[in-house]
Every structure is written in C-alpha cells, then in structure tokens.
Amino acid sequence: MPHYRTIESPVGPLMLVGDQASLRRLAFVRDGEPEPEDGWQRDTRGALDGVCRELEAYFAGRLTRFETPVVPEGTAFQRRVWQALCGIPYGRTVSYGELARQIGAERAVRAVGAANGANPIAIVIPCHRVIGANGSLTGFGGGLPVKRALLDLEQGKRRLL
C-alpha cells in the first residue's frame, strides 16, 4: 500500500508517494495539500524517510545521484523516455531531439516531450535537464523559475539550502 507525505523544500512543497522499497511519485504541490488517491496512507512510520534524506542532500548540493529505486507508472514508451532521463549526467542538459535520438525515436520529438512532461517523479527522474534545441528553458511542472534553480544548483551556480 502506498504511503504519501508532503514536505517543504527550497523549491516549494513536494508530495512524495511510495513505500520503503521505492518511490512512485514526486510532484510539486500548488494551492494546499493534494488529495491522496484511494488506498494511500499518510506516511506516519517513516516509509519515505530515505528519499527525504536524499532530497535534503540534493538541495544542499551534496548528492548528485539518487539511490532510491523508482517505479513510475506509464506506457512502455514513457518508461523508455524516463529511463533515458536518468542517464543524463548531473549538471548537464540535453535537447528533446537529443533525447529522442538516444532512445532510437528520432522522429518522435513531440512524443518525447509529452512523455517528459508526464514524468510522475520530478527531480529524481531529472526531466528538468531537458531544454529546447536552441538552449532555452521549456515547460516544466514546477515552473520555469524552479527549473532554472535546479539547473543552477547542479551547475554549481547556486545553493538552495
């Protein structure tokens, strides 16, 4: 049974969903605490403590790779894109076209963009590392200022904690 917790972070409140074995969702919270889905239990026993510690270390600039296992729910194509996102090195960016080429779907740039936008585990699956072909920041679930802050953190330009 999934557990959920909302935590404060330097980029705003985040909702975590998972269990002691894996993380299933990490979403930006807007306008108060989101409603849990049927079957979710509030994390009162520390099931999500490990990923919380990793996020704290990440925001402090001490963690460059998350170890918490992730189990994102999506189509086979989406999961392929999300797996490729995990291969983008900390502090680096790629374009949507580069990402499409990496997964062998050169003509599916828009579909790659849609899958990137549907990423259910923000930050840990680093969709913020994908930018436009011209180097511009493009859409991000947490908003473009958050995307810029995360990229600046990873490129050593800024500390968030």
Q: Which positions are annotated as active-site residues?
A: 127
Decide: residue 151, CB within 10 A, 0-12 exposed, 13-18 middle, 19+ buried.
buried
Residues counted in the chain = 161
Q: Is 13 helix (H, G, I), strand (E, B) or coil?
A: coil
CB contact at 8 A, 146 and 124? no
**Which CA distances in Å does 101 have to 42, 104, 112, 118, 131?**
40, 5, 10, 19, 14
DSSP string, 21-72: S-EEEEEE--SSPPPPPTT-EE--S-TTHHHHHHHHHHHTT--SS--S-B--
Closest CA to 55 of 105, 119, 8: 8
